[in-house]
Amino acid sequence: MRRSKKERQNLLIETIKEQPFITDEKLAQTFQVSIQTIRLDRMELGIPELRERIKSVATSNWNETVKALPIDEVIGEIIDLELDHRAISILDITAEHVFSRNKIARGHHLFAQANSLAVAVINDELALTANAVIKFTRQVIEGERVIAKATVKNVEAKNRTVVEVISNVDNEIVFKGDFEMYRSNEKEGTLE
């Protein structure tokens, strides 16, 4: 179905508001136009390219620093962090992450993204994974972008914190994990 330029641009604005990390390629597929058309629409509307949108979200939302590990040891790019509450990271699946014969991402990369995010969200100098219950819900292929969201569910006695991580590709869940994290400082209570 062919849309008018005005209709397409209005839908483009809505789509990017809902999915700020969507690529121009995916937008072109969605609207059945060329990538160049999407880029021209974005320019006319003053919508920055993906990299700039990511930086903008990170700058406006990320006011804290990772304590439990060096930032360069986090798998994926952290774009949002509120210690002991939530964190978000992005991992673009490239040739180095996939099996060469079928272009499917190796599971340990998705696990590593989620696990390192669970460590990063802990407000402590030491955070280690004590236990993890994970589930892969669909295959991820080369070229897809995985957005992992970590949420601290509760802080238990005996230096333990439970972190839920849900990873999505295009708003479809591809991985879920509950990580029981050991922390060196004992915290009390349940987070809401």
Number of domains, the chain:
2
Contact between residue 90 and residue 142 where contact means Cβ atoms under 8 Å apart: no
Place of tokens 């809902």: 18
Same domain, 82 and 140: yes
The pLDDT value recorded for residue 55 is 62
Which domain covers residue 122, as residue numbers?
Answer: 62-183
83 and 172 together in one domain: yes
> In degrees rounded to 5, what are phi and psi of residue 113?
-60, -50
Give the CA angle between residues 166, 171, 175 to the nearest 5°: 30
Those residues of the chain that have pLDDT short of 50 are 59-63, 189-192
Q: Are 79 and 90 in contact (CB under 8 A)?
A: yes
Question: Do residues 29 and 72 both lie within one domain?
Answer: no
Same domain for 124 and 36:
no
* Residues 6+ positions from 45 with CB-CB distance below 8 Å: 9, 12, 13
Task: Give the CATH number of the domain where residue 25 resides.
Answer: 1.10.10.10
pLDDT value at residue 62 = 47
Q: Report the relative pairing of strands 127-136 and 145-156 from DSSP bridges.
A: unpaired
Query: Do residues 15 and 82 both lie within one domain?
Result: no
The per-residue pLDDT for 21 is 76
What pLDDT sits at residue 171?
87
Residue 141: CATH number of its domain? 3.10.129.10
DSSP percent split of the chain into helix, strand, coil, nearest 5: 35, 30, 35
C-alpha span between 43 and 45 (Å, rounded): 5
> Are residues 90 and 177 located together in one domain of the fold?
yes
pLDDT computed for residue 189 by the predictor: 45
The answer on 133 and 69 residing in a single domain is yes
Single residue among 28, 56, 84 that ends a domain in this structure: 56
What amino acid is encoded at 88 in this protein?
Answer: I
Residue 164 included in any domain: yes
